[in-house]
Amino acid sequence: MSNNRGLFLTFEGIEGAGKSSNLDYAKAIIEASGKKVTVSREPGGTEVGEKIRAVLLDPNLPAMHADTELLLMFASRAEHYQNKILPALNAGNWVLCDRFTDASFAYQGGGRNIDVNRIAALEAWALGNFKADKTFLFDLPVSVGLSRAKARSEADRIEQEESDFFERIRNSYLMRAIVEPNRFCVIDASQTMEGVRGQVERAVEELILKRIE
Ligand code: Z5A
């Protein structure tokens, strides 16, 4: 990795965990340190990816096979990685992404029970060895996340699932954080907005300092 390459930071968690709010907060801190930031999201992030996202989240579509859902996530991701993430990192930007591959392991693996080896094969096929430099996992009880998400907007196709589905997703994320403790930074997202921001600020400032040293 060249020294001029930016860092790739991903924001993960169940619905209503506060990923989007804190991504904006992290962006402001990183920009204040003088770095250029590209913000993106998955599924989506590119013109093609946003069309795939619309299909994936459409609450009016009939049930989609879990394999179809997974393949669409990776179709969106391949486009995103090749045409947006890599060029931005190579230009020296830090890339902040609302969800990435860990979401496929958590939602399609944990939630939909797809064998994780099949997901890992797709990951290797689409991304090679590419991974996030740091993944912020916003962790909180499912009931709290779902009530925050419900208070904010109508449920999309995936949000209409039962709470068991989200419990499996939460567990799957936490297991991944245990397996890769250096990449993951687990944030206690059940705290107040200020409390969560404090945790994000400390973690992001540490990353900025490490990059300067
Ligand atoms: N998906 C998948 O299945 N597989 C994949 O590979 C990928 C994705 C990449 C779209 O994700 C869907 O795609 C998602 C996973 C699936 N499933 N669903 N549904 P998305 O990220 O676009 O949508 P989301 O997960 O539903 O995000 P969200 O509900 O917007 O959650 P959030 O970004 O974590 O939260 P937020 O918008 O920052 O906050 C939610 C509300 O809570 C908002 O009103 C805040 O003001 C409030 N909030 C936030 N923090 C706090 C605290 N600390 N206290 C009180 N209130 C708070």
Closest by CA position to 201, among listed 136, 139, 131, 149: 136
192 lines ligand 1 (CB under 6 A): yes
190 lines ligand 1 (CB under 6 A): no
Residue spans per domain, the chain: 8-212
18 lines ligand 1 (CB under 6 A): yes
95 lines ligand 1 (CB under 6 A): no
Written as tens digits, the pLDDT of the chain (213 aa) is: 446 899 999 999 999 999 999 999 999 999 999 999 999 999 999 999 999 999 999 999 999 999 999 999 999 999 999 999 999 999 999 999 999 999 999 999 999 999 999 999 999 999 999 999 999 999 999 999 999 988 887 777 777 778 899 999 999 999 999 999 999 999 999 999 999 999 999 999 999 998 865
CATH T-level assignment (fold) for domain 8-212: Rossmann fold (3.40.50)
- Evaluated on CA atoms 177, 182, 184, 190, the torsion sign reads positive
> Of 21, 52, 200, which is best to mutate to test ligand 1, by the most ligand atoms within 8 angstroms of its C-beta?
21
CB 133 within 8 A of CB 182: no
